[in-house]
Structure 1
């Protein structure tokens, strides 16, 4: 994400990151006893917002992001799940494969959403 932040925002803004970093929303990703990244999820009244998924570059491309998203989709299958990403973020393809669709574009930033799983939603 570092390269994308520089490309689109001109650099990393530590104060913005710190302001948005709410400990209560954070789940650390631990693999083999070592920190591999983190996931930040904001629970809203009618949806879940994936605020941030960060994986160590050494752990990217190993299916970890897919596993994290699958777990979130299973846990929150009855509500909409939203996120924001850059149009050119390689992870956008993963989000699309997982059923997220672009609902809003703002320059190179896109808001994506996955609606509740209809089969689960109907059976409840």
Structure 2
């Protein structure tokens, strides 16, 4: 059994998080936009918020990152990334189940966005009980998923 913990991110984690993003999401970013190192570094510099991010550890070693936003009516899973060496070990599932439990206890839904090209993540979210609500972004590249099932006929871009 893997011991999974979270620790607050610090400014010193910036390069780790960038390299993690490249390893975990690089193929998906490349499939949609193409990978441009400088554009990705600039994007990372804009979105890296260590006071809001957590570093996922597995058996004491850094394994990924988590960014969760607590909104008025929902818990929004803004970002979860696991290093490829740590994927498929149940770490992401355990963390998402914990968020699902928290949302249920608070009477809220859990929502997230996933890139349409990320089949593995979409399958995981479906297994955990999330439903596609809508597609959005340029050329509908993102899928909004939620624990609240969509109303019939309201899924756009399917």
Does TM-score exceed 0.5, indicating one fold? yes
Larger strand fraction of residues = 1
* Alignment size in residue pairs: 116
Aligned counterparts, 1:6-25, within 5 A: 6-11=30-35, 13-25=40-52
Structure 1: gaps (5+ residues): 116-124
Which structure has the larger Rg? Answer: 2
Q: Give TM-score scaled by structure 2 length.
A: 0.68
**TM-score if structure 1 supplies the norm length?**
0.84
State the 1:21 CA deviation. Answer: 2.3
Runs (4 or more) in structure 1 with deviation over 4 Å come to: none
The residue matched to 1:76 in structure 2 has which SS? helix
**Over aligned residue pairs, what C-alpha RMSD do you find?**
1.7
Q: How far did residue 80 of structure 1 move?
A: 1.4
Match of 1:10, SS?
Answer: coil
Mapped partners of 2:48, 2:31: distance in 1? 22
Cα displacement (A) at 1:18 = 2.7
Structure 2 portions without partners, runs of 5+: 1-24, 149-158
Match of 2:51, SS state, is: helix
Q: Secondary structure at the match of 2:123?
A: helix
